[in-house]
Amino acid sequence: MSAVERRVRAGEIEIATRQWDGDGRPFVLVHGLASNARTWDLVATALSEAGHRVIAVDQRGHGLSDKPETGYGFDEVTADLASLIEALGLEGPIVAGQSWGGNVAVDFASRYPHLLSGMVLVDGGLIALSQRPGATWEKISVDLKPPNLLGMPREDLIARILADQPGWNEEQLSLQMGNYEALEDGTIRPWLRLEHHMEILWALWNQDATTLVDQLKTPTLMALADSGPQERRAMRVEQAERLEAARPQSVRWRRFEGAAHDIHVDQPDALAAWMLSAVEDGFFG
């Protein structure tokens, strides 16, 4: 089943969505920083084929959604999500977020626990920039500032992505290229403006995601990738094990062997199957 693109009024802005109809559990899929809703297409298709309703969103400033001048902290992005869920009449959706989108899901669950029935954190949700050894905002703002890709030839960007992910097929590549606007001269432009990217990083710097997660009771799946420095991978496993030990009935985690940070693009079938099995065995209630 193909997605239908719909713009939905969420508070003061319009959010671009990709929607798949279904009579089963509703899923809301939230992308990561500087990403886009299309990266969820392969997972969403599998969920839809199992009979579930699926909505993937372009968060504010991203993709085809509105791009207001300000308002990129967690107050605003979680309010967007709450307004979207209410506008669509979704009852107890399972909210899945990748990377920064996982942190959005965690923040959302802490503010609006009545609006969701479960979370799936895809290599995200516990990003705590201020807790990294030796971290300062000055260092983070330099190290994580995105490269200036404005004006890069589209073919050069494709070559760069494939050098990073040589096993990706054309469809996977196309989903990732959705992060950029294709210009008439053959170059690209990121949908997310630099100043908005940095505002989101500042919000992440000030978020205490670890404490938020510790306080939640929402049933949570944690999907971990085999990407990034070994020390950080080990820390993610340690956090997941600690949470599962503290909440064995409501936390499950799994490491996706060989998976890139974008597990939902890299291993969509395995991720979707894991999510579906949790629905089928009643994990989300």
pLDDT tens, position by position, 25-64: 999 999 999 999 999 999 999 999 999 999 999 999 999 9
User: Does residue 8 lie within any of the structural domains?
Assistant: yes
pLDDT at residue 145 is higher than 90 = yes
Residue 96 main-chain phi, psi, to 5 deg: -110, 130
pLDDT, mean over the chain: 96
Does the pLDDT at position 9 exceed 90? yes
In-domain check, residue 248: yes
In a domain, 149, yes or no: no
Report which DSSP code applies to 153. Answer: B
What residues make up the domain containing 14? 4-128+208-280
* Burial (CB count <10 Å: 0-12, 13-18, 19+), residue 232: exposed
Task: Identify whether 181 is part of a domain.
Answer: no
- What is the predicted pLDDT for the residue at 232? 81
Total domains in the fold of the chain: 1
| 13, part of any domain | yes
pTM, full prediction: 0.97
59 belongs to a structural domain: yes
Query: Would you say 48 and 41 are in contact if contact means Cβ atoms under 8 Å apart?
Result: no
**Model pLDDT for residues 74-123, shown as the tens digit of each residue:** 999 999 999 999 999 999 999 999 999 999 999 999 999 999 999 999 99
Q: Does the residue 174 lie in any domain?
A: no
The pLDDT score that the predictor gives to residue 100 is 98
Give CA–CA dist 26/81, Å, rounded.
14
Q: What is the CATH number of the domain that holds 259?
A: 3.40.50.1820
Q: What is the predicted pLDDT for the residue at 227?
A: 83
* Cα-Cα end-to-end distance for the chain: 27
Average of per-residue pLDDT across 237-263: 96
**pLDDT(242) > 90:** yes
Mean per-residue pLDDT, 162-172: 96
The conformational region for residue 63 under phi > 0 = left, psi -120 to 50 = alpha, else beta, is left
pLDDT band at 250 (very low <50, low <70, confident <90, very high): very high
E strand or H helix that includes residue 244? helix 230-246
227-235: average pLDDT:
84
Residue 1 predicted with pLDDT over 80? no
Average pLDDT score over residue span 210-227: 95
Looking at the domain assignment, is residue 167 inside a domain?
A: no
